[in-house]
Structure 1
Amino acid sequence: MENESEIMTPDAAEIRNRIYTIRGKQVMLDSDLAELYGYEVKNLNRQVKRNIRRFPKDFMFQLTRDEMEILRCQNVTANVKSRTLPYAFTEQGIYMLATVLRGELAEQQSIFIMRAFREMRHFIANNAELFDRISKVELKQLEYQKHTDERFDQIFEYIGSHKETNQKLFFDGQIYDAFSLLIELIQKAEQDIILIDGYVDVSTLNLLAKKQSGVSVSIYTFQKTKLTAQDIVVFNAQYPQLDVKYSNAFHDRFLILDGKTVYHIGASLKDAGKKSFAVMLMKNAAEEMLEKLKSV
């Protein structure tokens, strides 16, 4: 962290004003994220470039000059004063950025940001009745002029006063919600975690790193996994003990906690929230699953 004394305390409305729609995606600019995390923009982007394989095009992209000019015209608060074309981070990219920057503060700031993204999705998905009261023209104004429209804040106050649904079914784009539930499940384990997932990578380990201290992890995955031996060594150096085994015996993904509780997960953990999927508790399945693993 560069200058912790200058880190801003996130305000929900302020963060929402820094979320823009570019190329049909809700994104935040590198300059705004750098300010939130207490970094200089160049140093934040340097960290990203050092870990560029973690930031595919659907996680991060650089604006064109036309996009930057449109953003300046439509958003008077947009922080795009630099001559260098800024980078835009999607919700997935912001989550990955927190893992790159690391530290308790980066995680804390990311939580505020992800909540702002989640509120915007819930505005659309969970408050359909409000759409009947607002014309299409007004909705467009809410999207492009939210920094001056008081009704936007009133809508979010309404959302904030209503209890959220504890969803087990996730739709395309619900990255934060999906990761939040998976982390919650992982943190329930007190002794050991077994993950059966054919496609694991470093993103999977970032989730498993949220486990309680002393909890061991066993992963059953395909031989052609993107997880390298070095990734396993690095993980074990900080979050022991991880054991990776290779098997083609399973098609679906399963999470087994303390040898007692089994969850069926409809997508690889690294892809949670990218497409619609479900997480389902499987009752009385642990004994049968563990017996099958003995033969793997």
Structure 2
Amino acid sequence: MQIIKSIQSRIYEVRGERVMLDFDLAFLYEVETRVLNQAVKRNSKRFPDDFMFRLTAKEWEAIRSQLVLGYEDTVNPSSQFVMMNIPSNRTGKYLPYAFTEQGVAMLSGVLNSDKAISMNIAIMRAFVDVRRILIKQIDVKDKLDEIVERVGEHDIQLHHLYQAMENLIDEKVAKKSWDERERIGFKTKNK
């Protein structure tokens, strides 16, 4: 379970896709990043643009700022995953590659070590867990929207009740002032 949580912390949303970065995958597969990227380049036909793409400088900067916070929060020093050095020299043509879920699945055919196979299974499970969490959040959001709509309807009904009560009070005040008005016309003494 600790492995899945560690993997989930390495899944980012870029361009509307959930992706993992090349250096995170290399770390998990216990290979060097350049070795992973070389294997991908040797099999470039397996990795179309919707499976893998290079980050822009702006995207990389946004993710780098998240990386420091993310690893500090999620990495347990006693676990087998220790905090790695976040690449800071990745600029220009050396920007990281981002792999979508399909790209990560395709990596299993490119990297054939036992470690890569077992880690790929864990990564696929992490992607599935993330999808389940997002589906639950959508369900909760829909229910919350429904509650907000009902409360809005109740607000309208309460407003109508408040107006009706105000009208009743105004009518009572008007009747009382009518009853207590000074009478005009003939005044008789009944004593």
TM-score normalised by structure 2 residue count: 0.60
TM-score normalised by structure 1 residue count: 0.39
The 5-angstrom pairing of residues 64-79 of structure 1 reads 64-76=56-68, 77=70, 79=86
Whole-Å Cα distance in 2 between the matches of residues 33 and 17 of structure 1?
Answer: 12
1:13 aligns with 2:23: no
Give the counterpart letter for 1:59 in structure 2. Answer: F
Please tell me whether the aligned partners of residues 26 and 91 of structure 1 are also in contact (alpha carbons under 8 angstroms): yes
Greater helix fraction, Structure 1 or Structure 2: 2
Partner of 2:95: helix, strand, or coil?
coil
Please tell me whether the aligned partners of residues 59 and 92 of structure 1 are also in contact (alpha carbons under 8 angstroms): yes
Whole-Å Cα distance in 1 between the matches of residues 89 and 25 of structure 2?
Answer: 15
Give the counterpart letter for 2:19 in structure 1. Answer: V
Please tell me whether the aligned partners of residues 30 and 115 of structure 2 are also in contact (alpha carbons under 8 angstroms): no
Give the counterpart letter for 1:55 in structure 2. Answer: F
Shift of 1:123: 1.6
Shift of 1:132: 5.3
1:120 maps to what in 2?
130
2:110 maps to what in 1?
100
Whole-Å Cα distance in 2 between the matches of residues 80 and 25 of structure 1?
Answer: 22
Please tell me whether the aligned partners of residues 26 and 33 of structure 2 are also in contact (alpha carbons under 8 angstroms): yes
Structure 1 residue ranges without an equivalent (≥5): 1-8, 136-296
Whole-Å Cα distance in 2 between the matches of residues 133 and 81 of structure 1?
Answer: 43
Whole-Å Cα distance in 1 between the matches of residues 143 and 67 of structure 2?
Answer: 25
1:87 aligns with 2:114: no
Residue of 36, 59, 67 corresponding to 2:28:
36
1:111 maps to what in 2?
121
Partner of 1:18: helix, strand, or coil?
coil
Shift of 1:28: 0.3
Tell me whether 26-35 or 70-79 shows the greater mean CA deviation: 70-79
Shift of 1:99: 0.7
Q: What does the per-residue CA deviation read over 1:232-257, in whole Å, with 9 as the maximum and x for residues that have no partner? A: xxxxxxxxxxxxxxxxxxxxxxxxxx
Give the structure, 1 or 2, with the largest relative contact order (CA under 8 Å, sep 6 or more): 2
Shift of 1:11: 1.3
Partner of 2:41: helix, strand, or coil?
helix
Whole-Å Cα distance in 2 between the matches of residues 64 and 128 of structure 1?
Answer: 29
The 5-angstrom pairing of residues 1-296 of structure 1 reads 11-76=3-68, 77=70, 79-83=86-90, 84-125=94-135, 128-131=138-141
User: CA 1:57/1:129 → structure 2, altered by over 3 Å: closer, same or farther?
Assistant: closer
User: CA 1:134/1:87 → structure 2, altered by over 3 Å: closer, same or farther?
Assistant: farther
Shift of 1:103: 3.1
Whole-Å Cα distance in 1 between the matches of residues 19 and 43 of structure 2?
Answer: 19
Partner of 2:19: helix, strand, or coil?
strand
Partner of 2:88: helix, strand, or coil?
coil
Structure 2 residue ranges without an equivalent (≥5): 72-85, 146-191
Please tell me whether the aligned partners of residues 23 and 33 of structure 2 are also in contact (alpha carbons under 8 angstroms): yes
Q: CA RMSD in A?
A: 2.3
User: CA 1:128/1:69 → structure 2, altered by over 3 Å: closer, same or farther?
Assistant: closer
Whole-Å Cα distance in 2 between the matches of residues 99 and 105 of structure 1?
Answer: 13
Please tell me whether the aligned partners of residues 34 and 44 of structure 1 are also in contact (alpha carbons under 8 angstroms): yes
Whole-Å Cα distance in 1 between the matches of residues 87 and 143 of structure 2?
Answer: 34
